[in-house]
Amino acid sequence: MSHDPIATISVMNTDGISCQGCVTRIRKALLAQDDQAELVGAPQAQLLLVHTRLGEEGVAKVAQDSGYPLTLAAPATPANLEINVYGMHCQKCVAKLRNAIQHWDSSATVSGTPADNVLQVSSWLPEALLERLVVEAGYALEPPAEGDTSADLTESDDTTEDHASAAEPSPASPTDSGSLELSLSGITCASCVATIQKTLDGLDGVEHAEVNFASRTAQVKSQLATTEIIAAIEDVGYGASVVKDPGANDAQQQEEADQEYRSRIRDSVLSLGIGIPLMISMFFHHPGFEGLERGVWLAIGVAVLGVLATAGRSFFTSAWKAFTHHQANMDTLVALGTGAAWLYSMGVLIFPETVPQAARGLYFEASTMIIGLISLGQALEVRARGRTQKALRALLDLQTRTARVIREGEEREIDVNDVRSGDHVRIRPGERIPVDGKVIEGQSHIDESMLSGEPLAVSRGVGDDVAAGTLNTRGSLVFEVERIGSETRLGRIISQVRQAQNSRPPIGRLADTISGVFVPSVMIIAIVAALLWFNVGPAPTGVHMLVVATAVLVIACPCALGLATPISTMIGVGKAAEHGVLVRSGEALQTASRLTALVVDKTGTLTRGKPEVTETHRVSGESEQEVLDAAHALERGSEHPLATALLAHIEAQRPEASRSKAFNDYQTISGRGIQAQDDAGRTWRMGNAAMLEDAGISLAPLSEQITSLEDNARTVILMARDNALIAVFGLADPLRDDSRDAIARLHAVGLKVIMLTGDNHHTAAAVARETGIDDYRAGVSPDDKHDEIARLQQEGHVVGMVGDGINDAPALALADVGFAMGEGTDVAIETAGITLMQPSLAGVADAIAISQATLRNIKQNLVGAFGYNLIGIPIAAGILYPFTGMLLSPVIAGLAMSLSSVTVVTNANRLRGFTPPGAARSRTDSTGNSSTMPQGESA
């Protein structure tokens, strides 16, 4: 029995690499041998960090193919390093860097002080490679020049006019974060997208690129200069510009869409205004080719040429541009079809004696009608496509344009882009909060429904956090600015929604592949069909050849193929955002629709995550003061909900405990608890029964109390000094109001729900009974969660995982789709594929319902797009002629083509009216307010 080689992470020495372009060449050679491999390079140190399944022979092959030597570096011992990192603004940035480093070294410890621009790392990775990981995560190793904040572009918008100017990537340097969003112009169909995609994928230094036809944007991760990327796109005939401000870019796109709509309508009216009368006349009169009538038809031919040169100008100029760049697109097909019809008609008029009598037909109306109908279809498509961005625009509308800043004791209203971290901002009743911060003066109620889904305004006073986009309903506040621009919570939501909308689910790859060869294939089919009709078709062969070739060219529609996936993805991601579900990528969206099992944590997922201490028991003779002081000293550094509850209880019972002396040598035992030593050398432990039993500590002194607490579904925390149990704390964490309904909704879509908890068996069993969970595991560690997900996957399940803590991150990463609670830790959110803004399991049911509706809609679009072309092209080629004695009119072909993409966009827009089944009821249950939202509509 054979086994796949195990992937290993190695540091390798090389020689001769001078830039990231060299690293990219090695990476391509590596991926040719192992398509799952990963590689990071530090040219200045001639070091590579490689994750691969290849053995020595495979690595030697990579070295030969790339032209660079590769040798395994000597094993390194872990070292403690301090790295200066610029662009960190908060612990979320530190969490992002921790995630990037632990991806390569799972044993690494990473902490940071953003205010001092210092990252502390303990790892076996060489410093040069650690610095490269920092850069690839989007941060800088050098302080920005005075007046330049390019190092901050990954996490924050700039705050002064100088900063604003620095926000544009330097044309001479690589993009700061490695990630770049470009707005594209000149693309008219899926073939254009395929051309740009192929161009970007072929650039050395581009690690990943995704071009989206529906939004006319490209997401590029690269180490190349921005100007190089834009120049490459321009070299194949298209335009590109950097998206610096999503709001401004959206406004510009709306304006351009309105202009395009008006232009297409104008072109359509002009073309159809001439084409319809011409077409009607053909039913009653056959053109004459002598005398005055011939002159009239020549004049009509000149008029039609005027229509092609004005209303049809965009098709011909785009086709010519594509031709000069050795490309072909949809406009090429339209230009060839309409141009051939006009040239044939003019040839018949000018040289009628050279054309057989039966073949003397004029097709001026075909040229104008095709231009008119396609322009009308494109106008309708533009209008329908504009509605797909409704959800994103609603988020953008939450951003304010100005802020009332207090500087030098004076209030002044300034542009929000000029606000700086540390500024004091005043908010009056009825105003939206412009940036994130902490209240330093005043008391008010804030409507945070856009972030939490909670319809009731929440009280906010001194020391409380406020978020951009939320609404101040009453009272006046002054707060200190902490995060600005894209670093605000609202900014991060907008960024994630945009990235997800521009990503492509795997289901669309076949359409992308076909789009790349679609237009040349159609041209070949048109030529072959024309030759067949010319050689073996009935008379008049010339007319039949022209009609068939024109109809084939005009009826083929790459636009429908190109729009089928991205347009539904954009709407689905936007619809998810409306329901408080942030999808990270199209792949996560698609995988969520196929889930068969869902693993959930208990605390903070099924329960409220706000436990309270209900009972405390001490061994006889133990001092309450010593127990409470020691418990506070042990737990004060933890962010776990149970620790928070313990600290609150202790401080209420004994306020002096908060001043107790801290312990030494803290050790957190994952999934078990915490231990430390006091100044007297005594070892203190707090955790679950497994932790104490592993240490050989007997639970007998308080066994009756422990059993009683467990029988009453309490979470039990045990406390020991040295080798003796001295106290036990019982905590209760009530279920969320909507947990039972959420589980029922998950069962309704066929999911098996498994609860994994570190809590005791009795508490886990009680929660499982009350919620209707299918199965549960109690007393599990984070490693056990990881192993359980692996076991379910081996059984053939597609597994989702819901978590909110740092210890959930490995399981979230292993699961096919990870769901992170929005109130959870940054590490969990960064690891997960989907983030739930509302701390409720109902969000998972909403996410799955929306993903299933979106994938169903995408499949409908793909079937329609493929089916249209597979049926339409053969009919246009004349396959039905032996049965009907008729050929498809090029005018009808043009109408069909114009309607095909409109049909796809219209079908996708049906998703906008979709509501997950049970969503309205769940919201009512969780908020206590009624809802009039419609129940699950199909899409």
- Count of helices and strands (H, E) across the chain: 32, 33
pLDDT (tens digit per residue) in 642-676: 888 898 888 888 888 777 777 888 887 777 888 88
Q: Residue 616's pLDDT is what? A: 92
- CA dist 245 and 237 (Å) reads 25
**Region 194-214: what's the mean pLDDT?**
86
Quickly list H helices, 537-636: 541-555, 558-578, 586-592, 624-635
- CA dist 771 and 340 (Å) reads 69
Closest to 378 in 3D by CA, of 908, 909, 898, 903: 898
* pLDDT level of residue 171 (50, 70, 90 thresholds): very low
Of 31-35, 527-531, 533-537, the poorest mean pLDDT is in: 31-35
- CA dist 303 and 307 (Å) reads 6
Q: Residue 178's pLDDT is what? A: 59
**Region 344-349: what's the mean pLDDT?**
88
pLDDT (tens digit per residue) in 713-743: 788 999 999 989 999 999 888 888 888 899 9
Closest to 774 in 3D by CA, of 599, 559, 939: 599
Cβ neighbourhood burial of 351 (10 Å; 0-12, 13-18, 19+): exposed
Tokens 């008391």 belong to residue: 443
Q: Is the pLDDT of residue 750 over 50?
A: yes
The tokens describing 596, both together, are 């068969």
The tokens describing 792, both together, are 């379910």
Q: Residue 874's pLDDT is what? A: 95
Look at 831 and 740; give whichever has higher pLDDT.
740
Q: Is the pLDDT of residue 55 over 90?
A: no
DSSP 206: E
Is residue 559 helix, strand or coil? helix
- CA dist 848 and 500 (Å) reads 16
Q: Is the pLDDT of residue 158 over 50?
A: no
**Region 316-335: what's the mean pLDDT?**
87
Q: Is the pLDDT of residue 471 over 80?
A: yes
Is residue 599 helix, strand or coil? strand
DSSP string, 98-161: HHHHHTT-TT-EEEEEGGGTEEEEEESS-HHHHHHHHHHTT-BSSPPPTT--GGGTTT----SH
Q: Which long-range contacts (CB under 8 A, 24 or more apart) does 311-319 make?
A: 311/266, 311/267, 311/268, 311/270, 311/271, 311/371, 311/372, 311/375, 312/267, 312/271, 312/338, 312/367, 312/371, 314/267, 315/371, 315/374, 318/186, 318/188
DSSP 174: B
**Region 582-596: what's the mean pLDDT?**
88
Q: Is the pLDDT of residue 922 over 70?
A: no
Q: Is the pLDDT of residue 829 over 70?
A: no
Closest to 841 in 3D by CA, of 627, 645, 599: 599
* pLDDT level of residue 512 (50, 70, 90 thresholds): confident
Active-site residue (options: 152, 157, 176, 601): 601
**Distances in Å between the alpha carbon of 403 and those of 413, 435, 476, 832?**
6, 9, 14, 34
Q: Is the pLDDT of residue 129 over 70?
A: yes
Give 851's Cβ-side CA count (13 Å radius).
28
> What contacts 826, CB < 8 A, 6 or more positions away?
91, 92, 95, 96
* pLDDT level of residue 390 (50, 70, 90 thresholds): low
- CA dist 490 and 494 (Å) reads 6
> What contacts 563, CB < 8 A, 6 or more positions away?
190, 213, 214, 381, 385, 861, 865, 901, 904, 905, 908
Q: Residue 247's pLDDT is what? A: 67
Q: Residue 513's pLDDT is what? A: 79
Q: Residue 96's pLDDT is what? A: 81
Of 434-438, 771-775, 817-821, the poorest mean pLDDT is in: 817-821
Q: Residue 152's pLDDT is what? A: 41
* pLDDT level of residue 362 (50, 70, 90 thresholds): confident
Crossing angle of helices 842-876 and 890-909, rounded to 10°? 180
Please give the mean pLDDT across all residues of the chain.
82
Tokens 């629709």 belong to residue: 593
601 assigned to active site: yes
**Residue 16 in contact with residue 42, Cβ under 8 Å?**
no
DSSP 243: -
**Region 539-548: what's the mean pLDDT?**
87
> What contacts 113, CB < 8 A, 6 or more positions away?
none
* pLDDT level of residue 37 (50, 70, 90 thresholds): confident
Q: What percent of the chain has pLDDT over 90?
A: 19
Q: Is the pLDDT of residue 157 over 60?
A: no
pLDDT (tens digit per residue) in 259-279: 888 999 999 999 999 989 988
Taking the CA atoms of residue 455, residue 460, residue 463 and residue 464 in that order, the dihedral angle to the nearest 10 degrees is: 10
Is residue 796 helix, strand or coil? coil
Most confident among 28-32, 60-64, 315-319, 391-395 (mean pLDDT): 315-319
- CA dist 344 and 341 (Å) reads 5
- CA dist 15 and 50 (Å) reads 15
Tokens 């959206």 belong to residue: 250
Of 119-123, 151-155, 362-366, 563-567, the poorest mean pLDDT is in: 151-155
**Region 347-374: what's the mean pLDDT?**
82
- CA dist 847 and 576 (Å) reads 6
* pLDDT level of residue 172 (50, 70, 90 thresholds): very low
Q: Residue 880's pLDDT is what? A: 93
**CA 822 from chain center: how many Å?**
16
Is residue 414 helix, strand or coil? strand
Quickly list H helices, 475-540: 489-501, 509-536
* pLDDT level of residue 806 (50, 70, 90 thresholds): low
Report the residue count for the chain.
939
Look at 498 and 178; give whichever has higher pLDDT.
498
Strands 752-756 and 775-777: parallel
pTM higher than 0.85, yes or no?
no
* pLDDT level of residue 111 (50, 70, 90 thresholds): confident
Most confident among 27-36, 180-189, 312-321 (mean pLDDT): 312-321
Look at 37 and 799; give whichever has higher pLDDT.
799
Q: Is the pLDDT of residue 165 over 50?
A: no
Closest to 58 in 3D by CA, of 19, 7, 126: 7
